[in-house]
Structure 1
Amino acid sequence: MIEVKNVSKKFGDKDVLKNISGVFKRGMTNMIIGASGTGKSVLLKNIVGLVIPDEGKVLYDERDFIKASKEEKKDIRQEIGMLFQGSALFDSKTVEENVRFPLDMLTQMPLDAKMDRVHFCLKRVGLENAAKKTPSEISGGMKKRVGIARAIALETTRYLFCDEPNSGLDPLTSIRIDNLIQEITQEYDITTIIVSHDMNSVMEIGEYIMFLHQGEKKWEGSNETLFDSDVPELNEFLFSNKLMRRFKNEPSSA
């Protein structure tokens, strides 16, 4: 579980995050949604420690990440897996070398144990036959799956962060990535936080959703209650994504 308590952040005179609080539960697909420039990615960066909040707390299973010592932060970071928007694979490395990278950087495992773990992770995401390929030889969806395999390569992974995981993917591949993220979240009982503007993903796997508007949390709930909201900013956001009619089975003028 990850909890943020009254997190605020300014850049210059601009309030980017205003007193954000919420609980992201373990074993669930937690999502942060909102329009572009509303603070989603900044909140994620505050949670993972890339940005330090001006006020508030970030708790990893009750461990205060902001006030943690250097060694305590290192321990927490070894429990974090990241899936980046652009996959962030090393072009010069093979698929298996990309997945092995966190094991090389953060563990003292013998090589044969590392390779066993790499091949296990690649098999879990359905890429056991792509181990020797380079990123330039695989599709965008396969790159995202390599990113997921790398994110879970460390057996200590307890937290998974995904930044726009379906960016640039076709709808069918997006569904496959969504399902894979949800399966891994439940299978390994990890805390997953996904930043997304893909409302199809929200409706498919959004077990807990935090909606941000102009740096404020305006609503939280599940995809089952999303359309019951009386929050004007959220309803406007849903209309802008042309989802209100679709999911309420009303005719579209499009």
Structure 2
Amino acid sequence: MIKIDNITKSFGEKVVLNGVSGVFEKGKPNLLIGASGTGKSVLLKCIVGLVTPDKGEVFYDNRPFYASDRDVKTDIRREMGMLFQGGALFDSKTVEQNVMFPLDVLTKMPLDEKLDRVNFCLKRVSLENSNKKMPSEISGGMKKRVGIARAIVNNPNYLFCDEPNSGLDPQTSVLIDELIQDISEEFDITTIVVTHDMNSVMGIGEKILFIYKGQNLWVGTKNDITHSGVQELDDFIFANKVMRSLRQQE
């Protein structure tokens, strides 16, 4: 579980986050949604420690991140996995080398154990026998699956996904969403997904936080998002053609 308490962040005179609090639960995807520029990406960076908030705290299973010393922060970071928006694979490394990279950096695991773990993760994302391929030889969807394999190779307790469906076709996006959901449940990971894709929201949105002008304006699930009673959320979701179609069918 991850808990955020009163996260506040300004850049100059611009207040980007204004006292955001919330809880992200284990074993399910927790979605951060909101229009561009509302603060959700900055919030994610504050949660993982890439940006230091002006006020507030992030608790990882009751461990305060910002109030802790360097050793505790390092331990928490070792428990994180990241899926970046563009995949962020190393072009000069093979699929196998990309997935193995966190193990090379963070562990002293013997090579044979690293290979076993890499192969396990590649099989889990249905990319067995792709070890020696280069990123230039695989599709965008496959790159995202390699990114997921790399994110889970170190057995993380916390998984962060930044716009995982960016640049993907609808069918591949559904596969990536389902994979993120399955892995979160299977390994009991606290997963946070930043997205503006309403197909993802309606597909895997078991816990949703809506960020608006730097505040957490609404919390709920995909089952009640269309009846939130929050005008700003309605304006956001029904700007999407799929959601407009859903409303017309009700």
* In structure 2, C-alpha distance between the alignment counterparts of 1:25 and 1:166, rounded to whole Å: 22
Aligned residue in 2 for 1:51? 51
Q: Is the 8 A contact 2:198 2:243 kept in 1?
A: no
Q: For residue 218 of structure 1, what is the amino acid of its counterpart?
A: L
C-alpha displacement at 1:117, in angstroms?
Answer: 0.4
Aligned residue in 2 for 1:125? 125
Aligned residue in 1 for 2:134? 134
Aligned residue in 2 for 1:220? 219
* In structure 2, C-alpha distance between the alignment counterparts of 1:230 and 1:127, rounded to whole Å: 43
* In structure 1, C-alpha distance between the alignment counterparts of 2:165 and 2:243, rounded to whole Å: 21
Q: For residue 190 of structure 2, what is the amino acid of its counterpart?
A: T
C-alpha displacement at 1:246, in angstroms?
Answer: 2.0
SS in 2 for 1:132: coil
TM-score by length of 1: 0.97
C-alpha displacement at 1:249, in angstroms?
Answer: 4.1
Aligned residue in 1 for 2:75? 75
Aligned length: 250
SS in 1 for 2:10: strand
Q: How many percent identity over aligned positions? A: 64
TM-score by length of 2: 0.98
C-alpha displacement at 1:97, in angstroms?
Answer: 0.3
Aligned residue in 2 for 1:113? 113
Runs (5+) with no aligned partner, structure 2: none
Q: For residue 147 of structure 2, what is the amino acid of its counterpart?
A: G
1:68-126 per-position Cα deviation (integer Å, ceiling 9, x unaligned): 11110110011000000000000000000000000000000000000000001000000
SS in 2 for 1:248: helix
Aligned residue in 2 for 1:205? 204
1:130-174 per-position Cα deviation (integer Å, ceiling 9, x unaligned): 11000000000000000000001013x100000000000000000
1:14-55 per-position Cα deviation (integer Å, ceiling 9, x unaligned): 000011000000001100000000001000000000001111
SS in 2 for 1:240: coil
Alignment of 1:143-154 (within 5 A): 143-154=143-154
Runs of 4+ in 1 over 6 A off after TM superposition: none
